[in-house]
Chains A and B, each alone.
Chain A
């Protein structure tokens, strides 16, 4: 018998594992116009995937984990985020 798992049943260690990148799910992606952004943090707050963070006073979107839902663009009070087609440069 060839076993893949050393457990008797489906136990998994719940370590700090990142899931699979989800960038392929996306049709559109967010672009921030930094000139319009006032660092209010609203987009970070509402991003369901938690892929937006503030680094060195600048909002950064980790696109590997962005599913392109567009909530950030919809919620941004300054209209600083626009969703562009994934194919666009």
Chain B
């Protein structure tokens, strides 16, 4: 092995900093993502978590549990104090859900990004409030069933489009923004490496797409496959932006039919052709926007 491949492989010689057994559900890609994350980042971190799926697995690392409402500010406080005592070597990293990122914790995140705080923020986007029982968040896709968006005579799943956090973060002018998913393993590792560097200058934000077999009502062994399909259908394009310059890290020349991804998920079992079309339009619109913004 040479070059990048060798470097990526080298991470797997590193100590696994998570407990061998965690309380995460079987087949959760977030557990895998966190395992890999800390192989790359190492022990010199302070982790920040909120109530939700994520707190359970960081038992071997220095950590601060935060309120969902102000995780980015909590990170700021620790980061600023560490800076004051000359400990800029310590990375402050959050691994929190889409609800804490896009909804209730958005105001502090937006402010911390605007202030250029040196934080590594990873949003574990499983597209709903999964830990509390699959309630809709603003990251929940159009038409999806959740326990707060039912399918009936007056409504058919979630009504509106996804709030697309990665672009919102990009417009804050943060150092590094990337989308990633465990289906593209090496892509994720490289992005964590870049984020680890970028955090020395400002905020690094990784939007990690993690299929949730419980909330999506999908087979648990398919979670990695689904995360790959999400990229191949352009449902979740992979890109990164260093200093605001957006570029795709994975171009999909011949997209797979969105139906391949949707049919695995029972949360979309009610979906008709018209609704699938609408979802496709949203996805195409987002892709077109990204392509307009992309420098390569």
Residues of A near any B CB (own CB < 8 A):
14-22, 25-26, 45-51, 62, 64-65, 67-71, 73-75, 83
Contacts and interface: CB of A to CB of B under 8 A. Distances in A.
B75 to A, nearest CB: 18
A46 B188 CA distance: 13
B27 A67 contact: yes
B31 interface: yes
B57 to A, nearest CB: 9
A65 B24 CA distance: 12
29 contacts: A14-B59, A14-B63, A17-B19, A18-B21, A19-B19, A19-B20, A45-B185, A46-B32, A46-B182, A46-B185, A48-B26, A48-B27, A48-B29, A49-B22, A50-B16, A62-B20, A65-B21, A67-B27, A69-B27, A69-B28, A69-B220, A69-B223, A70-B221, A71-B27, A71-B224, A74-B221, A74-B222, A75-B224, A83-B221
A65 B27 contact: no
Interface residues of B, number: 31
B232 to A, nearest CB: 15
B contact patch SS: loop
Contact of B21 (A21, A47, A70): A21
Nearest to B24: A48
A71 B221 contact: yes
Contacts of B61: 14
